[in-house]
Structure 1
Amino acid sequence: MAANNQAKPKATELHYWLYSTGNFANNIIFMMVGTYISYFYTNILGISPFMAGVVFMVARLVDAFTDPLMGIIVDKTNTKIGKYRPWIIAGAPFLGIMFVLLFTAPNFSMTGKVVYAFVTYIIYSLAWTIVQIPQLALPAILTNDIAKRTRIQAIFQAFGSIAALVVSAWALPILDKLGGQDNAEAWFKFTVIFGAISTVIFILSAMSVKDVDVYDSEAKQKQTANKEISLKETFSVITKNKALLCVLIAYGTDMFAYQISNSLRMYFFKYNMSGRTDLITYIGYASTFVGFALVIFIQPFVKKTGKRAGIIGIEALAILVTLPMLITGLKGSYSVSAVMFTYIAIAFTWTINNMLSRSAVLDSANYAQMTLGVNGTALVNSTFTFVNKCCQAFSMFFSGMILSATGFNKDVTEQTPGCLKAILLLCTIGPIVGYLCSLIAMYFYPLTRKGEIEMQEKLDKMDIKNSEDDLVL
C-alpha cells in the first residue's frame, strides 16, 4: 500500500474572519425581514396585521419539510468544490432575488396582494434555507475546540452586527433619501441595492474557505464499507439528542422574545414614543460595538463558565434590564433614558446568547456523534434554522393578532390607548416570559464545562485516528 502524505487542510485565523463576512449578507436580509416585513405588509402592501401573521405561519408548515430535507442533503453532499460551499454559492443569487420580491408592492387587488405575499414569502423562506443551513454547519470543519468555536461565532456575529447597524440605524434614513418610508418604490430600490451586495458577499465568503471545505476522495469508499444508515438512525441526531432539545428550547424562546420586540420596534417608537424613530439609530450603533467587543472577551468567558452557565446568567440579566422600560411605560409617561437603556442592554444580552446558542448547536451535533455514533451536523443545524424561522413567524403572527384585536389602524397618527398598551406589553412582558423559559431549558442542558472539555478531547482523538487512517491507502 502507498502512503498518502497529503494532510487534511486546517483552518486558520484568516479563514475564521473571511468566512464570517457572510453573516453581514445573512443579517442584512434576516434583520430587514424581521424588523420591517410586518410594517411593510400593513403600511405599504396594505394587508391586515392578522393576514400578515397567517402568511408567516403557513410558510413554517412548508419549512417543517424542507429544512430537515435540506440538512440531510447537505450532510450527504461531497462534490469537487466541497460539501457546504456549492449550496451557498448556488443559493445566494436566488435568495437575493426573493429578498427584492418580498419587499415589492404590486398594484393588485386585495386578494392578489395576499396571494403575492404568500407565494413570495414561502419561496424566500426556501431560498434562505438553501443558503443558511450549510452556512451555519460550516464551522464544524473549522475547529473542534469548543471555546474557539464560540469565538468564531463571535466574529460571525460581529459582522452580523454591522448589518444590524445598517438595518436599525441607516435603513430608514436611506429609505427617506430614496423616496420615503411609506413609498413602495423606495423599499424596492433599497432591497435591490442590498440584495445585490448580500449576494456577492455570500459567494465571496463561501469561496474564502475553498481550501478547507474540500472534496473528500475517501468518503465514498468509507460510505461503501460502512453499513448504510437508516432514515430513523439519521433522525436520531434530533429525536434522541437531549443537548439539542435543550438548546433549541432555550434559543427558540429567547429568539421569540427578541423577535417580538424587534418586529414591533418600528411601531413602538413611531406610536408609543411619538415618532422618535430616530432613536433606533443608537440601538444599531450599540449592537455593533457589543458585537466586535465580544470577539475579544467571549472565548475566555466560555472557557471559564461553559455555555450552560453562561446562557443561564445572561438570560437572568435580560429579565432585569427589561424592567425599567416596562415600569416607566406602565406609569403612562415614557422615559427615553429607561427605554434606551433596556433596548441597548438587550442588544448586549441578545448578542451573547446568540453566539453561545449557535455554538452550542454545533456542540449538540458532536454530542449526538459521541452518544449515538451518527454524524449529522447539517441536519442538526437545519433544526436551528427551522426554529429561527418559526420564532420569527410566531412572534409576528402573535403580534399581528394582538394589534388587530386592539384596533391598530395604519391610517391614523395616534393609536388607541389599548393598542399602545398592547405594544408596550408585547415588547416587555412577552420577552420576559421568553427569557425565563430559556433559563429553565438550559438548566437541563447535559453539557457542563467539564463535559465540553471531555467531548473535545474525544473529538481530537477521533481526528487523529482518521488522519492516520487516511495516510494509508
Structure 2
Amino acid sequence: MFRQYISYALGAFGHDAFYATLNTYFAIFVTSALFVGNGAAAEAGIVTTMVVVIRLVEIAFDPMIGGMVDNTDTKIGKFKPWLLAGAIVSSVGIILMFSSMFGLADSNKTLYFLLFGIVFVIMDIFYSFKDISFWSMLPALSVDTKVRNKFGTVGRFGSTLGSQGVIMAVTPLVIFFSQKFSGTHGSTQTRAGWLGFAVVIGAVSLLGALATFFGTKENKSLIRENTEKTRFRDVFKVIGENDQLMWLGLSYLLFALSYVVTNSLLIYYFRYVIGNANAYTVIGGVTALLGVLSVPLFPVIVSKLTRRGVYVGGICMMLVGYILFNLAGTNILMMYIADAVFFFPYPMIFLAALMTITDSVEYGQYKNGTRNESVTLSVRPLIDKLAGAFSTGIVVIAAVHAGMTGNAKPSDITAHGMFIFHSFIFYMPMILLVLSALIYQFKVTLSEKKHAEIVRELEKKLETEQAEEKASAK
C-alpha cells in the first residue's frame, strides 16, 4: 500500500505542476514575452479569448470523457490507458503552446492563431482524459472513507508540492534558459527561456503519470461491480440527478475561481506594485513549506472538525489572509505573512471538497441504482478547468486595464489602474469565497457519517441481491 501512496503522490506532483503552468504562467508568457510592442495587448487578447472560448466549449464534453473512461475495460483497468495517453499528448502540447509556433507569431500571426487553436484543442482534450482518469481513480482505490482520505491526502501533498514548486522554479528556470539559449544577462526573460521552462514541466508531468501508471492498482469489490455501461446521452443526467454533487460543485467553483485569480495575479503584484519580481520566488517556498505542514494535518483535523468544519473554517481563515493582503501595501514581509495565512487552509479545503465529491459516487449509486465513478469525478476537473479558463481571461483583463503589461514599471501604474487591479485580485475573490462558504454550510449534507450509512446499505442490498440470484440459479 505504501508503494501505491507514493506512486499516486508522484502523479499528483507532475499533474499539478502542469496545471499551475497552464493556468497561471501561460498568460504571463503571452503578455510579457510572446507579444511585445505595438498591438501586443490586442494580440494577447486574441490568444486569451481563444483559450477561454475553447475551454468553455470543451468543458461541456468532460462528462462524456468521464463516460468514455467509465466504459473502458482493459487488462490494466479503465483509468491507466487514458492516463498514459493523456500525459504524452498534453506534455507535447504545452511545449508547443510556450513557443512562437516555429516563428509564426512574428511572420504570420493569422496562421499562428489558427495553429495555436488546433494545438490547444488537442492538448486540452487529452489533458482532460488525464485529469479525469487520474482523480477518478480515488473511488476505485478503496470504498473505505479512511483509506480514501489517505490517498486523497498523499495526492494533495504531491499536488501541493508540484504547484508550489513551480512558483519557486519558474523565475530561475526562465532566466537560466534565457541566458543559455538567448545569451541574455541579469533577469531578462525571453521566449526561449519560457520554452525551456515548458519542456521541464512537460517532462515532470509525464514522469509523474508513469509513476502512477506502474505503481497503483484498482481495488475490486461488490460495490464497484455494480456498474453499467454509461450512454453518452445519460452522462449529464447522472450528474444532474446527484443533488449533493451539484451543490458541492457550485460551492467549489466559487472557491476555486477566487483562489486561482488571486494566486495568478500575485506575480503581477510583486512585479508592478512592489517592483521586485524576484521576491515572488519566496512565495513558492513559503507555500510549499505550508503545504508540507497543512496536507498531513488534514486527516487529524477532519476527524475532529468534520469536512464541513474544515471547508467553512478554512474559508474564514482565507478571508483573514485577504484582509492582511489589503493592509500590506508594498511591505514584502507583510505580503509573505498574508500569503501564508491565505494559503495554509487551501489544501485542506480542496481535500474536503474532493472527498465529498468522491463520496457522492456512492450517494449517486444509492440514489439511482448504478455506479458512475469517472462521470461523477469528472465534475472536479471540469470545475478546475472552468475556473482556470475564467481566471486566464480575468488575469489578462486585469493586467491590460491596470496597465501592467510589457516593460511597465510600478511608477507607471495610475491610481485608477491600481484600484482596478485590487478589485480583481482581492475584492471580487472575497465575495466569491463568502458565497462558497454559505452554499456548503446550508446545502451540502453529505457528511462522513451519512456516507458510511450509505455504504452499509449498499453492501447489504447488493449482498441480498447476489444471494437471491444464486438461489434462483439453483
* Equivalences for residues 254-403 of structure 1 within 5 A: 254-274=255-275, 276-329=276-329, 334-403=330-399
Query: Contact 1:82/1:213 (CA < 8 Å) preserved in 2?
Result: no
Correspondence for 1:4 = none
Correspondence for 1:425 = 423
Deviation at 1:462, TM superposition (A): 6.3
The reply to whether residue 70 of structure 1 matches residue 65 of structure 2 is yes
Correspondence for 2:23 = 34
Query: Contact 2:295/2:348 (CA < 8 Å) preserved in 1?
Result: no
Query: Contact 1:82/1:215 (CA < 8 Å) preserved in 2?
Result: no
| 179-188 or 242-251: bigger deviation | 179-188
| 263-272 or 279-288: bigger deviation | 279-288
Structure 1: tracts of 5 or more residues without a match: 1-11
Query: CA separation of 1:51/1:457 partners in 2, compared to 1, >3 Å: closer, same or farther?
Result: same
**In 1: Cα distance, 2:289 partner to 2:460 partner:** 38
Question: Could you report, residue by residue, the CA deviation over 1:18-48 in whole angstroms, capped at 9, with x for unpaired residues?
Answer: 2221011101111111221111111122153
* Equivalences for residues 195-206 of structure 1 within 5 A: 195-206=202-213
Query: Contact 1:407/1:416 (CA < 8 Å) preserved in 2?
Result: yes
User: Residue type matched to 2:436 in 1?
Assistant: S
Correspondence for 1:174 = 173
Identity of aligned residues (%): 20
Query: Contact 1:250/1:441 (CA < 8 Å) preserved in 2?
Result: yes
The reply to whether residue 404 of structure 1 matches residue 404 of structure 2 is no
TM-score by length of 2: 0.87
Query: Contact 2:318/2:345 (CA < 8 Å) preserved in 1?
Result: yes
**In 1: Cα distance, 2:83 partner to 2:115 partner:** 26
User: Residue type matched to 1:149 in 2?
Assistant: R
Correspondence for 1:87 = 82
Candidates 88, 93, 98, aligned match of 1:103: 98
Query: Contact 2:272/2:408 (CA < 8 Å) preserved in 1?
Result: no
Query: Contact 1:52/1:397 (CA < 8 Å) preserved in 2?
Result: no
Correspondence for 1:237 = 238
* Equivalences for residues 138-177 of structure 1 within 5 A: 138-177=137-176
The reply to whether residue 58 of structure 1 matches residue 53 of structure 2 is yes
Query: CA separation of 1:265/1:294 partners in 2, compared to 1, >3 Å: closer, same or farther?
Result: closer
Question: Could you report, residue by residue, the CA deviation over 1:74-125 in whole angstroms, capped at 9, with x for unpaired residues?
Answer: 1111111211111112221111101111111232233344334433332221
Correspondence for 1:248 = 249
The reply to whether residue 192 of structure 1 matches residue 194 of structure 2 is no
Aligned residues: 450
Specify the SS of the correspondent of 1:42. helix
Query: CA separation of 1:455/1:179 partners in 2, compared to 1, >3 Å: closer, same or farther?
Result: same
TM-score by length of 1: 0.87
**In 2: Cα distance, 1:26 partner to 1:463 partner:** 36
**In 1: Cα distance, 2:458 partner to 2:3 partner:** 23
Structure 2: tracts of 5 or more residues without a match: 180-187
Query: Contact 1:158/1:288 (CA < 8 Å) preserved in 2?
Result: no
Specify the SS of the correspondent of 1:23. helix
**In 1: Cα distance, 2:249 partner to 2:279 partner:** 32
CA RMSD of aligned residues (A): 2.8
| 139-148 or 260-269: bigger deviation | 139-148
Higher RCO structure (Cα 8 Å, ≥6 apart): 1
**In 1: Cα distance, 2:302 partner to 2:343 partner:** 19
Candidates 21, 25, 43, aligned match of 2:10: 21
Query: Contact 1:150/1:299 (CA < 8 Å) preserved in 2?
Result: yes
**In 1: Cα distance, 2:468 partner to 2:85 partner:** 33
Correspondence for 2:184 = none
Question: Could you report, residue by residue, the CA deviation over 1:132-187 in whole angstroms, capped at 9, with x for unpaired residues?
Answer: 10101001111222243233212111111221233101221121111155211112
Query: CA separation of 1:154/1:413 partners in 2, compared to 1, >3 Å: closer, same or farther?
Result: same
Correspondence for 1:135 = 134
User: Residue type matched to 1:185 in 2?
Assistant: A
| 454-463 or 407-416: bigger deviation | 454-463
Deviation at 1:72, TM superposition (A): 0.5
